[in-house]
Structure 1
Amino acid sequence: MRTSALDRSQALALLKTYNEEPFHILHSLTVEGVMRWYAQDQGFADEAEYWGQVGLLHDIDFERWPDEHCRKAPELLKAGGAGDDMIYSVCSHAYGLCSDAEPVHQMEKILFAVDELTGLIGAAALMRPSKSVMDMEVSSLKKKFKDKKFAAGCSRDVIREGAERLGWTLDELFQRTIEAMRSCEAGVNAEMAGA
Structure 2
Amino acid sequence: MSKLTLARAKELLAKYTSEEHLFHHAAAVSAAMGAMAEAYGEDKDHWAAIGWLHDVDYEQYPDEHCHHVREFLAPAGVDEADIKAIISHGYGITTEEAQPATNLEKSLFAVDELTGIIQAYALMRPERLDGMAVKSLKKKYKDKKFAAKCNREIIDRGIENLGMELGEVMGHCIKGMQEHHEEIGL
Q: TM-score scaled to structure 1, two decimals? A: 0.88
Distance apart, 1:34 and its partner CA: 1.8
Report the counterpart of residue 20 of structure 1 in structure 2: 18
Amino acid at match of 1:41: A
CA distance in 1, matches of 2:160, 2:5: 32
Q: Partner amino acid for 1:111?
A: L
Q: Judge conservation of contact 1:92–1:103 (CA < 8 Å) in 2.
A: yes
Aligned partners of 2:117, 2:161: CA distance in 1, in Å?
19
- Residue in 2 that maps onto 1:58: 54
Name the structure 1 match of 2:8: 10
For residue 104 of structure 2, the aligned residue among 103, 107, 114 is 107
Query: What is residue 156 of structure 1 aligned with on the other side?
Result: 152
Q: Which residue of 1 aligns with 2:119?
A: 122
CA–CA distance in 2 between the matches of 1:57 and 1:118?
A: 15
Shift of 1:58: 0.3
**Cα distance in 2 for residues equivalent to 1:150 and 1:16:** 31
Bigger relative contact order, structure 1 or 2, given CA contacts below 8 A and separation 6+? 2
CA distance in 2, matches of 1:154, 1:27: 13
TM-score normalized with structure 2 length: 0.92
Cα deviation, 1:84-125, whole Å, max 9, x if unaligned, reads 011000011111101221111111111110000001100110
Tell me the alpha carbon deviations over residues 5-64 of structure 1, each in whole angstroms, 9 at most, x when there is no partner.
Answer: x443332121011111110001101211221222122111xx222211111100001112
Matched, 1:165 2:133: no
Extract unaligned runs of 5+ from structure 2.
none
* C-alpha RMSD over aligned residues: 1.9
Match status 1:36 vs 2:67: no
1:19, 1:63 within 8 Å by CA — same for their partners in 2? yes
Q: Distance in 2 between matches of 1:156 and 1:7?
A: 30
Answer yes or no: is the 8 Å Cα contact 2:30–2:51 preserved in 1: yes
The one-letter amino acid paired with 2:100 is P
